[in-house]
Structure 1
Amino acid sequence: MGEDSATEPDRGDRAARYSNAEASRSRGSDALRAAQMYYLQDLTMNAIARELRTSRSTVSRLLSTARETGLVEIQVNNPQLRAPSLEHEIRRRFSVEAHVVPVSELVRDSEVLERVAIQAARTIGPLVESDAVIGVAWGSTLSAVSQHLARKLTHDTTVVQLNGAGNTQTTGIAYASEILQRFGHAYGARVEQFPVPAFFDHAETKTAMWAERSVRRILELQERMTMAIFGVGSTNSGIPSHVYSGGYLDDADLLALNQERVVGDVATMFFRADGSHRDLLINQRGTGPELELLRRVPRRICVVSGEAKLSGLRGALAAGLPTDLILDEATARWLVQDEPR
């Protein structure tokens, strides 16, 4: 009797799990049917509601589910010959694939970032493939992008952290991990973190660490990247770059960057307005990928929000870092002006 009673909760748990799984499959099936009728058959939500014998609000939720789970990928086709003038001009001048996000100049910086992040997430999704090694930087921009990624099942894909996140106040693991885990969850990918500081105190320490086998494993993954996703760091943006606001650089570092005429960074590797960077001493202590290595990655997606990042963006373009650029309309307009702002 004791044995029979002990199994009752197990039977109940199994029944509950089966019921939940069935409900999930049913919702997925309904979401797929609603999406097919709405996007492929041009039926209105009212017509779909009548056919599925449900309410219009339920149809709206089913369509949202279809988008969020990757059943539907919304893509605005924009062939070069029909591209808006801003995108066409950026492609012509900088030889990058440009995606300009229409945003009024009256919108606050935080809302601009949110809208750029949403479009970036939807642009990145269709580009992610199986057997890929995707390098992901951390920062305010990538954190926002990671919150809007739609699910897309891939196989044997790896997401690898581009640069360390620790400083004298924190390991940075929780912050960077949250961003990477969202990318890994969205694409069903394995996540490889890089548990080193953002900057070493001494270049010699970095040299010694880079010889360690545990670190070499991550570096070798980075050397096999097929895609890299990053923002551009800036000291004066409306939403401060995390590397500048999070205690990663002290006053001496900031003074040195100013004296060296540094305009920005990608994954904590710095550069000047003309793209030069090899002689910058701080890069000998930084843990991001060498910019020469980054330039060898086949697809390099740069996401930028806010006009205050213009100088950094110009430097990144001069260094040949992005192949794809996703940015807001106001920043795009200033970018194609002849005179730097």
Structure 2
Amino acid sequence: MGSKDDRKLMIKIAQMYYEQNMTQSQIAEELDIYRTTISRLLKNAREDGIVTIKINYDSDHDFTMEEKLKKRFGLKEAIVVPVEKKQTQDMKLTAVGQACARLLQRSIRDGDIIGFSWGSSLAKMVDTLDPEAKKDVICVPLVGGSSGRLESRFHSNTICYQAALKLGAKSLMFDFPAIVEKNETRDDISRSRHFKEIAVLWDRLTVAVFGIGSMKLAEQSNWHAFYGDETVKELGDRRAVGDICSRFFDRAGNQVYTSLSDRTVTIDLNALKKARVAIGVAESLKKVSAIIGALRGGFMNVLVTTTETAEQILKRTDP
């Protein structure tokens, strides 16, 4: 700290700068002091505690929620997209998809292997990707197909191929259904050359983008068509709350194994934990329990969601 006169001068300059909103040039002219001296004394005023700067994070509600989500679940990043409750589901999905696309494009590095699941959120994300050229980037599906039980635009192969086109990347197709009829069929597939090529890429996965399914949406036709009524009932009995790439988990993030598990052609959820960037993208009040389970399971290190969904996630997990 300088002399008493220096301190008084710092207070005067700080008052003129912060309270009277004068520029450093105006202060220099009025006090007949070099502008560089004004800048130095303002810096000293902060260092000596004469001036303290407080950021009011609550002024940006979404930013505050992002920081809380990161801290509570140990995330690298959280993106909370502001939406109005009166907006349609399609508008909310579009907003989330756009945010996810921006996040993905700034996360990709040359040489990355990027995996994609299926679903409406990812379809919206791919639609809004900006065309660019990446070197040696490979896009790969993370889960088998839906065997005609899902609109083609939501299919993992479609999403993967379209993402590769936008990114100027290579892509592989996954020519197997997600759910097969017999365990033996799944074993035969796992021994095939094509599956082994995909499995090698899964082991080297650096970026993953996936949706999160919810048991609270099980009444919708997609779930029953995709998994069957008996499986949906079994999942309910075992207290599953959601799925990622057709792998199920409970509210605590523990994986739930069913009669379907050995007939599913998909990536192991533990492989997602090895990715440098694992982006879970989901929104809906009916998906809150599923998102919480996925966060607790550590299957993602980045979450993209909406304000109303984030509010409920934080509310239900408030210590």
Q: Which amino acid aligns with 1:98?
A: A
CA distance in 1, matches of 2:164, 2:247: 24
Does residue 1:225 correspond to 2:205, yes or no? yes
Secondary structure of the 2:121 match is helix
Does residue 1:93 correspond to 2:67, yes or no? no
Larger Rg: 2
The 8 Å contact of residues 97 and 121 in structure 2, kept in 1 or not, is answered as yes
CA distance in 2, matches of 1:139, 1:174: 5
Cα displacement (A) at 1:170: 7.7
Does residue 1:122 correspond to 2:102, yes or no? yes
CA distance in 2, matches of 1:260, 1:179: 31
Partner of 1:102: 82
Does residue 1:325 correspond to 2:303, yes or no? yes
Unpaired stretches in structure 1, ≥5 consecutive residues: 1-78
The 8 Å contact of residues 133 and 159 in structure 1, kept in 2 or not, is answered as yes
Partner of 1:202: 182
Post-superposition Cα deviations, 1:193-233, rounded to whole Å, max 9, x if no partner, equal: 11111112222321221011121111111111110000101
The 8 Å contact of residues 234 and 258 in structure 2, kept in 1 or not, is answered as no
CA distance in 2, matches of 1:238, 1:205: 26
TM-score, normalised to structure 2, is 0.75
Secondary structure of the 2:96 match is helix
Cα displacement (A) at 1:237: 4.5
Secondary structure of the 1:113 match is helix
Cα displacement (A) at 1:240: 5.7
Partner of 1:281: 259
Partner of 2:54: none
The 8 Å contact of residues 233 and 266 in structure 1, kept in 2 or not, is answered as yes
CA distance in 2, matches of 1:228, 1:309: 20
Q: Which amino acid aligns with 1:136?
A: F
Q: Which amino acid aligns with 1:251?
A: D
- CA gap of 1:250–1:237, structure 2 versus 1, over 3 A, is closer
The 8 Å contact of residues 119 and 154 in structure 2, kept in 1 or not, is answered as no
Partner of 1:272: 250
The 8 Å contact of residues 113 and 306 in structure 1, kept in 2 or not, is answered as no
- CA gap of 1:218–1:172, structure 2 versus 1, over 3 A, is farther
- CA gap of 1:171–1:100, structure 2 versus 1, over 3 A, is closer
Does residue 1:335 correspond to 2:297, yes or no? no
Does residue 1:248 correspond to 2:226, yes or no? yes
Q: Within 5 Å, which residues of 2 pair with 1:1-341?
A: 84-96=63-75, 97-167=77-147, 175-237=155-217, 244=223, 247-277=225-255, 279-338=257-316
- CA gap of 1:174–1:313, structure 2 versus 1, over 3 A, is closer
Q: Which amino acid aligns with 1:107?
A: Q
Secondary structure of the 1:248 match is helix
Secondary structure of the 1:337 match is helix
Cα displacement (A) at 1:241: 9.1
The 8 Å contact of residues 114 and 206 in structure 2, kept in 1 or not, is answered as yes
Cα displacement (A) at 1:285: 1.7
Secondary structure of the 2:315 match is coil
The 8 Å contact of residues 112 and 138 in structure 2, kept in 1 or not, is answered as yes
- CA gap of 1:231–1:240, structure 2 versus 1, over 3 A, is farther
Secondary structure of the 2:227 match is coil
Secondary structure of the 1:84 match is helix
TM-score, normalised to structure 1, is 0.70
Post-superposition Cα deviations, 1:130-172, rounded to whole Å, max 9, x if no partner, equal: 1110001111111111111111210111000100013375896
Q: How many residues align?
A: 258
Q: Which amino acid aligns with 1:140?
A: S
- CA gap of 1:287–1:173, structure 2 versus 1, over 3 A, is farther
The 8 Å contact of residues 210 and 244 in structure 2, kept in 1 or not, is answered as yes
Partner of 2:10: none
The 8 Å contact of residues 120 and 326 in structure 1, kept in 2 or not, is answered as yes
Unpaired stretches in structure 2, ≥5 consecutive residues: 1-56
